[in-house]
A and B are shown apart, each in its own frame.
Chain A
Amino acid sequence: DVKVTQSSRYLVKRTGEKVFLECVQDMDHENMFWYRQDPGLGLRLIYFSYDVKMKEKGDIPEGYSVSREKKERFSLILESASTNQTSMYLCASSTTSSGTITYEQYFGPGTRLTVT
């Protein structure tokens, strides 16, 4: 079974703090993704990565950065946390067929971040 783990299930941080959310997958997947999920807004893509050291902006990258130094690990960084970044953060990974179609995404359990 594919396993995607996230470093914390619940996190409380103060405004202005630097926050690191870690995600690790054990299936040698090329692709990794960070989403945030808010009531009524569904899943919104923050950043994704197709390979080590590669990153692409998603729909809402402002206020976030990412790091992928190893294939299995994808980190989301909030440079200076703000209250409007209080949300559920979901990490996912997937593999790609023939470089064109992405198979299903496998999700971690999520991190519920509260910024006070």
Chain B
Amino acid sequence: AQSVTQLGSHVSVSEGALVLLRCNYSSSVPPYLFWYVQYPNQGLQLLLKYTTGATLVKGINGFEAEFKKSETSFHLTKPSAHMSDAAEYFCAVSEFNTFYFGSGTKLNVKP
């Protein structure tokens, strides 16, 4: 079975600083990859996804992620953090009709 690892359950950055949230998966077969964001007391919202094609994927709110097959990684980045980015972020993998979620990373943005 697939496993999805998000390094760091809590990440804290200053406003304007680079955001880097890490995600690694275990499959040797290129899966579909996703990042979701969850604001307090809300459902999950899709930020971006990788299916096929270009390995650098751009999403909403200035986020992007790069699929690196050799590293089995799909890290999420944003060049400049904003206070409104404070939320919990989930990496997810879809393989063979099954969805696997990471355990989530809470992003704190300091003024």
**Residues of A that sit less than 8 Å from B by CB:** 4, 9, 33, 40-43, 45, 50, 90, 92, 94, 96, 99-110, 112
What are 13 A-B interface contacts by the 8 Å CB criterion? Answer: A4-B43, A40-B9, A90-B43, A90-B44, A100-B96, A101-B95, A102-B98, A104-B34, A105-B44, A105-B92, A107-B43, A107-B45, A110-B42
Q: How many A-B residue pairs have CB under 8 A?
A: 56
Task: For chain B, residues 55 to 97, give those with C-beta under 8 angstroms from any C-beta of chain A.
Answer: 90, 92, 94-97
Identify which of B43, B94, B97, B102 contacts A110 (C-beta below 8 A). B43
Residues of B within 8 A of A40 (CB): 9, 103
Instruction: Give CA–CA (A110, B49) in the complex, Å.
Output: 22
Known: A42-B90, A42-B103. A104 touches B97 (CB 8 A): no
- Looking at the assembled complex, report how far the CB atom of A19 sits from the nearest CB atom of chain B, in whole angstroms: 19
Q: Are A33 and B97 in contact (CB under 8 A)?
A: no
Q: Are A33 and B99 in contact (CB under 8 A)?
A: yes
Known: A109-B42, A112-B41. A103 touches B94 (CB 8 A): yes
Q: Are A104 and B41 in contact (CB under 8 A)?
A: no
Task: For chain B, residues 2 to 42, give those with C-beta under 8 angstroms from any C-beta of chain A.
Answer: 9, 32, 34, 36, 41-42
Q: Which residue of A lies closest to B103 (CB)?
A: A42
Closest 10 CB pairs of A and B: A107-B43, A42-B103, A107-B44, A43-B101, A109-B43, A102-B94, A110-B43, A102-B97, A108-B43, A42-B104
Residues of A within 8 A of B92 (CB): 105
Known: A102-B97, A103-B32. A41 touches B103 (CB 8 A): yes
